[in-house]
Copies of this chain bind each other. A is one copy, B any other.
Amino acid sequence: MELILDFLSRFLVQFQSPALAFLVGGMLLAAFRSKLEIPDAIYQFCVFMLLMRIGLEGGLEIRDAELADMLLPAIIAVVVGCAIVLVGSLVLSRLPGVKTDDAIATSGLFGAVSASTLAAAMVMLEEQAVTFEAWVPALYPFMDIPALIVAIVLANLYLARKKEGAKAKTRIWPIITSSLRGSALSALLLGLALGLFTRPEIVYEGFYDPLFRGLLSVLMLTMGMEAYTRLNELRKVAHWYAVYATFAPLVHGLIAFGLGYVAHVLTGFSPGGVILLAVMAGSSSDISGPPTLRAAIPSANPSAYIGSSTSVGTPVAIAVGIPLYVALAQAVFGL
């Protein structure tokens, strides 16, 4: 009982964190139909800065890391990413009113990773002084790309079967390159490479890192506004999407938390790392995922998958998921 109360109080405290507060603030602004707009150029720049910061730090840290330590978490990332899509597609497509290709695209988006959710978690861990291996955020593509690939392959198999005869083979390589070329992964990987091979410490410490938290608050505000605005997309599709979008992030996060815990026991993976793994699994892609899926699974209805992800999935992943995993870690690892 005390444990639960303790858990709840820890949970609530985190709601005052700037990342969450700005997210909720953005939703309120949109709900009150405020005319405040964050210009698109600013939003894109915030995203770039965040991914560059995550990439640079990852690159700088991987230099000194034992590559072997990364192996198990990386495998978990790949497995979780694929599993979310496979299981999600199966479950969702059985639900009444849900088209199979929409189900696949939606679970693809939930299997992929949101850089801004990840950044919010990193900032909140810092606030709580929970440490993690600095290369953990660099596991992002290990979960993101496989999830998108599985979704696109599944959708193609499904569509091919529907049309019979037309057995258009799905080529995996173009999906990978198109993911890597997306603005989010490009920025992250460029940051990683610069961190690994050059000496960017001076701009990292004087620019990318100090602006990180502030720009994240602007980003969260924007995402809150967008989440509310896109809610009516969700009204156009079956109610089951809202149900899936509410629970899937937490289920995914908890599964990844469990597997992360195994890695903790086996290889000493840090509690902070376990939390971030859960956050990645619980997040759903907001920047690169949607256009990738839109181009690769044209028949899927974007109102279904973007509505689910942006309006419900992401707010739940950030506002419920992150505090949940942190509180859980505090209980489990006695932080």
| Chain A residues in the interface with B (C-beta under 8 A) | 15-18, 20-22, 25, 28-29, 32-42, 44-45, 48, 127, 180-183, 186-187, 190, 193-194, 197-200, 202-203, 206-208, 210-211, 213-215, 217, 221
Q: How far is the CB of A121 from chain B (nearest CB, A)?
A: 15
CB–CB A213/B217 < 8 A: no
- Measured CB to CB, the closest approach of chain B to A314, in angstroms, equals 19
Q: Which of B28, B42, B127, B181 contacts A202 (CB 8 A)?
A: B127
Q: Which residues of B are found within 8 Å of A38, using beta-carbon distances?
A: 44-45, 48
CB distance from A239 to the nearest CB of B (A): 31
Bound-complex Cα distance A86 to B235 (A): 48
Q: Which residues of B contact A16 (CB under 8 A)?
A: 197-199
State the oligomeric state as a number of copies: 3
For the complex, what is the distance from the CA of A183 to the CA of B39, rounded to whole Å? Answer: 12
- Which residues of chain B have C-beta atoms less than 8 A from A206's C-beta? 210, 213-214
Between-chain CB contacts (< 8 Å), 22 pairs? A16-B198, A18-B200, A21-B199, A25-B190, A25-B193, A29-B186, A29-B190, A35-B183, A36-B48, A36-B186, A36-B187, A38-B45, A39-B40, A39-B44, A41-B42, A42-B45, A190-B221, A206-B210, A207-B211, A207-B213, A207-B217, A208-B214
Instruction: List the 4 shortest-distance A-B pairs measured between CB atoms, nearest first.
Output: A207-B214, A39-B41, A21-B198, A34-B186
Contact of A18 among B32, B44, B199 (CB under 8 A): B199
A45 vs chain B, min Cβ distance (A): 5
B-side contacts of A202, CB under 8 Å: 18, 127, 213
Shortest Cβ distance from residue A27 to the other chain B in the assembled complex, whole angstroms: 11
Closest to A188 in B: B36
CB < 8 Å: which of B35, B44, B207 contacts A182? B35
Residue of B nearest to A209 (CB): B214
B17 touches A199 (CB 8 A): yes
A34 near B183 with CB under 8 A, answer yes
Tell me which of A15, A36, A181, A210 has the highest count of chain B C-beta atoms within 10 A of its own C-beta.
A36
